[in-house]
């Protein structure tokens, strides 16, 4: 993503070899910016930022518990708990979303 390539020149970590083209650099999953001399032009992107969320859509829940599990036991497993609606898991896994 473009925002992953917005790095201050001093933060750039080399990701290519001398003379690498922009196309070759990007093909390798790296960022390319030749506007600042003396720093890597082909550089590693920032890591993707992710976070765990409890899904709002009850029909995409993936079961993390068992019938009758308590909210406390569910949360001890590191899962989400919502005792509604009927017919779907009440203890379910988080989803990972990119920010």
75 pLDDT above the threshold of 70: yes
Considering the chain, tell me which residue range(s) the CATH 4.10.110.10 domain(s) occupy: 3-44, 50-98
The whole-model pTM stands at: 0.55
* Interval 77-99 mean pLDDT: 92
pLDDT of residue 48: 81
Percent of the chain at pLDDT above 90?
75
The mean predicted confidence, pLDDT, of the chain is: 92
For domain 3-44, give the CATH superfamily. Answer: Spasmolytic Protein, domain 1 (4.10.110.10)
Question: How many Å separate Cα 93 from the centre of its chain?
Answer: 16
Alpha-helix runs per DSSP H in the chain: 22-27, 71-76
Are 91 and 83 contacting, i.e. CB atoms less than 8 angstroms apart? no
CATH topology of domain 50-98: Spasmolytic Protein; domain 1 (4.10.110)
Q: Is the pLDDT of residue 93 over 80?
A: yes
What integer pLDDT is reported at residue 1 of this predicted model? Answer: 63
Per-residue pLDDT, averaged over 43-61, amounts to: 90
């Amino acid at each position: 993503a473009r925002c992953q390539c917005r790095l201050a020149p001093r933060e750039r970590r080399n990701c290519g070899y001398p003379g690498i083209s922009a196309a070759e650099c990007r093909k390798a999953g790296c960022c390319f910016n030749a506007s600042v001399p003396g720093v890597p032009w082909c550089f590693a992107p920032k890591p993707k930022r992710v976070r765990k969320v409890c899904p709002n859509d009850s029909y995409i829940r993936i079961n993390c518990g068992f019938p009758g599990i308590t909210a406390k036991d569910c949360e001890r497993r590191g899962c989400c708990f919502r005792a509604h609606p009927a017919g779907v898991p009440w203890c379910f896994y988080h989803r990972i979303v990119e920010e």
